[in-house]
Amino acid sequence: MTDTLLEWDDSFLIGIKELDYEHKLLIDDINRLHKELARHDERSEIEKCLGDIHARMQAHFALEERVMKEGEYEYFDEHRSAHDALLDSYTEYMIRILNDTDIYAGRTIEEFLQHWVIDHILTSDKRMSLMVQARE
């Protein structure tokens, strides 16, 4: 198992500074969770990482939604629904780990995070950024 789950790559850049900065922090948090899950001996650290990612996602989505609103992004509702669904799924996986009801929950949450970060940033966030910046 490698130390890094998600390697930051400049292809993730969407061109809006504060959002790119937060995407990087989110990837750092996810990699930190990956390390803690692999070490598997500090339950409190795993719980802290899970909570940090939850808080980071919430704050990030709120900021991104503000940028979309100010930029009068026409697919705002659709994008916000995607954020809500991501946060709901993440919360569900997080609870499974916290309650220890699923021994595969760690792997599942990693796969989920890996896919949504890549898909959501590279498609939805990029499209939003291009359209919002084109209006400026």
Measured from the CB atom, the residue of 35 and 56 that comes closer to Fe ion is 56
Minimum distance between the CB of residue 45 and Fe ion, rounded to whole angstroms? Answer: 25
Task: Give yes or no for residue 29 binding Fe ion (CB under 5 A).
Answer: no
Q: Under 8 Å CB-to-CB from 40, ≥6 apart: which residues?
A: 46
The 8-class DSSP code of residue 72 comes to: T
Measured from the CB atom, the residue of 12 and 93 that comes closer to Fe ion is 12
Tell me the C-alpha distance between 21 and 33, whole Å: 19
Q: Which of 5-13, 48-56, 66-74, 121-129 is the region at the interface with Fe ion (rule: CB under 5 A)?
A: 121-129
Task: Give yes or no for residue 125 binding Fe ion (CB under 5 A).
Answer: yes
Task: Give yes or no for residue 36 binding Fe ion (CB under 5 A).
Answer: no
Residue nearest to Fe ion (CB): 125
Q: Which of 46-54, 69-77, 103-111, 120-128 is the region at the interface with Fe ion (rule: CB under 5 A)?
A: 120-128
Closest to 105 measured CA to CA, from 113, 116, 97: 97
Minimum distance between the CB of residue 83 and Fe ion, rounded to whole angstroms? Answer: 6
User: Which parts of the chain fold into alpha helices (H)?
Assistant: 17-39, 43-70, 76-98, 105-119, 126-135
Closest to 18 measured CA to CA, from 117, 123, 114, 125: 125
**Contact residues: Fe ion, CB under 5 A:** 64, 125
